[in-house]
Amino acid sequence: MKMNRNVYKAFMYFFIYAAVALTLAVACFIVGFVLIKGLPFVSWRLLSTKPSYINQTIGILPDIKSTCFMLVFTLVIVLPVGVGAAIYLTEYCSNKKLVALIQFASEILSGIPSVIYGLVGMLCFCQSLKLGTSLAAGGLTLAVMTLPVVLCTTQESLKAVPLSYRYGAFALGAGKWRTIYTVVLPACKEGIITGAILSAGRIIGESAALLFTAGFAHKTLTVALYFYAKEQGEFEAAFAIAAILMVLTLAINLAATIFNKRKIK
């Protein structure tokens, strides 16, 4: 009996450590592989020029510009909407069914695959609103896609603001809006920033939703990676872009961790 228990224990510990080691090894391998393969190809010329057919060189400056534009455009739309929706849910809405409905809708949005966002974005923004395949159409699509991220993180941090803060403001004669604006929102700004960072990660990493909405003409870095790797067979450029994306991912994760820690304090 004793023997069996020890064997069981050894087996289970083996499985646990094997799983952890495997996960760590694969994560390290991917990061290392991409950085080692890609960083040598990241040159100033690549970063600062347009692609040129005459000189047969590849430059990703337009792609970097598109990515930056997409990032700013999407955040400018999604942050007010997401934060506003979260404020409505936690501060204003007293109808429980309505809260459940909005949360259910946000859950559905977070589960929809990006290909479907791409198709609906194409139908709705590119065709019905006549934006064509453009950065604006891509940005609007991504704004809908990242809405649940912002809504969810903001809502959580709003809930964490103690009720006594609000009572204090009310007692001092502040109205509801003034309380939210001057007391509640400043108390949870780390949460909102975390939400913004997380959605920035989603925006930079998204590709499938942008294929049909922004297209190859306005390609962001991820779409450019796909374009060079799969359509053109330019693997050096693809790896260079992958390395840049990896560095951005690492930076975003680091920033999110830092703000999350501040939030807890």
Partner 1 sequence: MDKEKLIKCAFFVLGMVSVIAVGFIVFYIFSAGVPGIVKVGFKNFMFGKVWASTAQNPKFGILPLILSSLWGTFGALLIGVPVGIMCAVYIAQIAPPKLCAVFEEFINLIAGIPSVVFGLVGMMQLVPSVAKFFNLADGASLFCAILVLALMILPSVIKVSVASIRSVPAEYEEASLALGATKIETIFKVILPAAKSGIASSVVLGSGRAIGEAMAVMMVSGNVANMPRIFGSVRFLTTGVASEMSYAGGMQREVLFSIALVLFVFIMLINTVLNLCFKGKTK
> Which of the residues 86 through 125 are near partner 1 (CB under 8 A)?
87-89, 91-93, 98, 101-102, 104-109, 111-120, 123-124
User: Among residues 17 and 167, whose Cβ is nearest to partner 1?
Assistant: 17
Which amino acid makes up residue 7? V
Helices vs. strands in the chain: H and E counts, helices first: 13, 0
Q: Output DSSP code: residue 138.
A: H
Rounded CA-CA distance 92/155 in Å is 12
| Region of 49-57, 68-76, 165-173, 245-253 interacting with partner 1 (CB under 8 A) | 245-253
Determine, following the binding rule CB under 8 A, whether residue 239 of this chain makes contact with partner 1. yes
User: Among residues 193 and 256, whose Cβ is nearest to partner 1?
Assistant: 256
Give residues 39-78 in contact with partner 1 (rule: CB under 8 A).
none
At residue 58, what are phi and psi to the nearest 5 degrees? -110, 130
Q: How many residues at the interface with partner 1, by CB under 8 A? A: 86
* Best CA proximity match to 256, nearest among 206, 208, 180, 202: 202
Determine, following the binding rule CB under 8 A, whether residue 247 of this chain makes contact with partner 1. no
Determine, following the binding rule CB under 8 A, whether residue 229 of this chain makes contact with partner 1. yes
Q: Output DSSP code: residue 43.
A: -
Determine, following the binding rule CB under 8 A, whether residue 20 of this chain makes contact with partner 1. yes
Among 96, 97, 130, 230, binds partner 1 (CB under 8 A): 230
Angle at CA 44, nearest 5°, toward 43 and 50? 105
Determine, following the binding rule CB under 8 A, whether residue 262 of this chain makes contact with partner 1. no
